[in-house]
Structure 1
């Protein structure tokens, strides 16, 4: 009996031991699986945070589908300073399962330096010089004409501006924003590639090397286009974007004189993070309230746009006393506003003079020293749209008048021709 009892105890102990070993093995298997998953996830996060692989183009030999550009916050060392976890994949992410040609949300192709070098004739076809660096005209192998903007070697903010531009323009798409068609990070170079705008920038047309007299219709259309571009940034983009460097030199014009907002290197999303940076922008366009408080808002962009509107109707450079002229005209004679004193004389003829004065009133509201008293860009856009609609109505009315006049003259000519066919009496 005792032997049977001992045997039962031994069997029970063995069963308990076997169960414990089985449980330990199961636990070990689960731990190893989780460990492998953690390592894989870590690798994925590392890829997402340190690089932003850009999509290849159409296979014309100019695009590298496997080279990536990092998207760190600082821009100084992108590979070793990834974005904070909250922002890490705000714009970039992997899609698809092909590890040889990964695609990013941006969809912006990466070009080879040697192809850009050939397209710009060894970087000799210069279009101009900006704060970022020189801008070149390029004719690609496909025949497409583009503008190539290269980061100057002595640009202290260039890498960060480059990064900001690529990130923002990968998600911002509007007919009145310049289109980024590619980029290049190679041989120590940082290059942005844009659609070519054949009529250059607004500053150059108003008082630069390419100066020419713009019609009222052209100026009103430019104001209309720019206002819609800014309205998209402020009210259409999610999250909203503040440009921070609106000026006539950053307004580009295509072959049809349609305007697009460019240069987003200083732009920021309207997300308050409690931090402040040094003053950024261009003298003559900077919001006085921003200079005082170091806080840039949508209303600061509205201020800059107000200055651009005054440029359009006065052709006076903001860096050559435009604000002083505006202040003098605002008090005018007998305490009344007298915009005629500073308006471009080419705009003071015929029925358009009143429209120009109305636009001057709108511009003056935009540059009010108190941001709270400035209109929102949507209100400015609506005011310009009403002016443009009125102008188009007047043009149609004038066209009908001319057509009626031509028709009347045609009838008179027909009557005269009929009189020549009448045989004189007594002939």
Structure 2
């Protein structure tokens, strides 16, 4: 049964990756299937995953505030392509920080499409699959999956970028283990919000932008799917917050006094 399931994921990824191409989606370079051995060959992403950067030895130190916004925008653009520009639309179904890969310039690309679902296949009611902490409430309760389920997961990733915390942290006290449950009440409180920012960016975060990103995150993690924005609206909300040099539309000076261009060059982006 496990072998059959793994083969199904393998085949689904090959079929989908042969059809979709976008700068913010990982490129499948080749594959091999011999006997029970399955091999997928992707482009090299030298900075690993977003999860590696946030939870690994560096603990987010390599990710400045503007780089975090760039990664969020890149990931949103990848989802927007899947939702709005694929025919039929595609639901990623397992969007999470470990599936956001970063190249040497910290360009973000979505990966792992083994659970992805083409909407024409019938989003409807499905057997629960995904990663705990990112799965939308309606999917858990009813098995109903839509593009708004990906938007919920995107909101969780935004919270990771803001706080540096894991989606589920069992080391935290009861009631604080879920990132969404813990963070949501603080996202709309301008006094408390700066206190939950990741220590790696606490001294350089742009507070005005922080409040704007928090507002987007609040909408994305709404328990009612109809209250969540479309991913295209999320993209449009993030573009003005990301420096031009990083793929957005912002021309500004960051709180540390360095121009966006200087900050950009320091990270080789």
Counterpart-to-counterpart distance in 1, 2:70 and 2:33? 37
Q: What residue in structure 2 maps to residue 164 of structure 1?
A: 12
Counterpart-to-counterpart distance in 2, 1:171 and 1:239? 11
Counterpart-to-counterpart distance in 1, 2:252 and 2:166? 31
Q: Is the Cα contact below 8 Å between 1:247 and 1:308 reproduced in 2?
A: yes
Instruction: State the 1:357 CA deviation.
Output: 2.0
Aligned equivalent of 1:245, options 94, 100, 121: 94
Q: Are residue 267 (structure 1) and residue 116 (structure 2) matched?
A: yes
Q: What residue in structure 1 maps to residue 181 of structure 2?
A: 324
In the alignment of these two chains, the number of paired residues is 246
- CA gap of 1:399–1:277, structure 2 versus 1, over 3 A, is closer
Aligned equivalent of 1:254, options 96, 103, 113: 103
- CA gap of 1:325–1:391, structure 2 versus 1, over 3 A, is farther
- CA gap of 1:319–1:186, structure 2 versus 1, over 3 A, is same
Q: What residue in structure 2 maps to residue 374 of structure 1?
A: 228
Describe the SS at the equivalent of 2:168: helix
Instruction: State the 1:363 CA deviation.
Output: 0.8
- CA gap of 1:324–1:230, structure 2 versus 1, over 3 A, is same
Counterpart-to-counterpart distance in 2, 1:249 and 1:283? 13
Describe the SS at the equivalent of 1:158: helix
Unaligned stretches of 5+ residues in structure 1: 1-75, 77-153, 403-427
Counterpart-to-counterpart distance in 2, 1:367 and 1:373? 9
Counterpart-to-counterpart distance in 2, 1:366 and 1:376? 9
Unaligned stretches of 5+ residues in structure 2: 170-176, 263-269
The two structures have a TM-score, normalised by structure 2, of 0.84
Q: Is the Cα contact below 8 Å between 1:325 and 1:342 reproduced in 2?
A: no
Instruction: State the 1:346 CA deviation.
Output: 3.9
Counterpart-to-counterpart distance in 1, 2:46 and 2:129? 28
Q: What residue in structure 2 maps to residue 71 of structure 1?
A: none
Q: Is the Cα contact below 8 Å between 1:329 and 1:341 reproduced in 2?
A: no
Describe the SS at the equivalent of 1:380: helix
Instruction: State the 1:324 CA deviation.
Output: 3.0
Aligned equivalent of 2:153, options 276, 290, 304: 304
Provide the alpha-carbon RMSD of the alignment: 2.5
Q: What residue in structure 2 maps to residue 222 of structure 1?
A: 71
- CA gap of 1:371–1:212, structure 2 versus 1, over 3 A, is closer
Q: Is the Cα contact below 8 Å between 1:244 and 1:267 reproduced in 2?
A: yes
Structure label with greater radius of gyration? 1
Instruction: State the 1:209 CA deviation.
Output: 4.1
Counterpart-to-counterpart distance in 2, 1:245 and 1:298? 12
